[in-house]
Homo-oligomer: A and B are copies of this chain.
């Protein structure tokens, strides 16, 4: 098993960062503008990235201002069954977010790509919370050679 791990510090109270991770408007502001579905525990949030593909996330845990845990139920084969978590903790006047995308069966070039891409989306989330403006799909930062 391999994991993608990241950490960002967001200049905000944890409740504001949590909002970006646990509401449809929040998620649409940094990951993809085409975000559908409810965000309650047990619901499936549908993230569409145009023709590039989609990801369905079942919400497994929500701890306000502390933690969000999803499991992938639809999307790229390598993603199915993997889990994505965001753990929040206040530090000075920041919220530290530890991100984990865990359960990859094996390292791959696609996983390496997703690691870099997650970093840019986490920076988009940080920007959304700090400035009100993120860079969600289709205005996301391209890291690779297929417009992705």
Q: Determine whether A49 belongs to the interface, using a CB cutoff of 8 Å to chain B.
A: no
The answer for the CA separation of A107 and B102 in the assembled complex, in Å, is 13
- Identical subunits present: 2
| Nearest-Cβ distance from residue A14 to partner chain B, whole angstroms | 13
Closest chain-B Cβ to A64's Cβ sits at a distance in Å of 21
Contact with B along A104-143 (1 / 0, CB 8 A): 0001010111011001101100100000000000000101
B7 adjacent to A144 (CB under 8 Å): yes
Q: Which residues A69-125 have CB closer than 8 A to chain B?
A: 91-92, 94, 96, 98-99, 107, 109, 111-113, 115-116, 119-120, 122-123
Q: Secondary structure at chain A's binding surface: helix, strand, loop or mixed?
A: mixed
Enumerate chain A interface residues (CB-CB to B < 8 A): 3-9, 11, 91-92, 94, 96, 98-99, 107, 109, 111-113, 115-116, 119-120, 122-123, 126, 141, 143-146
Docked-complex contact A109 and B145, CB < 8 angstroms: no
Which of A3, A5, A109 is the most central at the interface, judged by chain B CB atoms within 10 Å of its CB? Answer: A5
Given A116-B122, A120-B119, A120-B123; A111-B5 close (CB under 8 Å): yes
Out of B11, B98, B123, B143, name the residue touching A109 (CB < 8 Å): B98
Which B residues touch A4, using CB under 8 A?
A: 5, 115
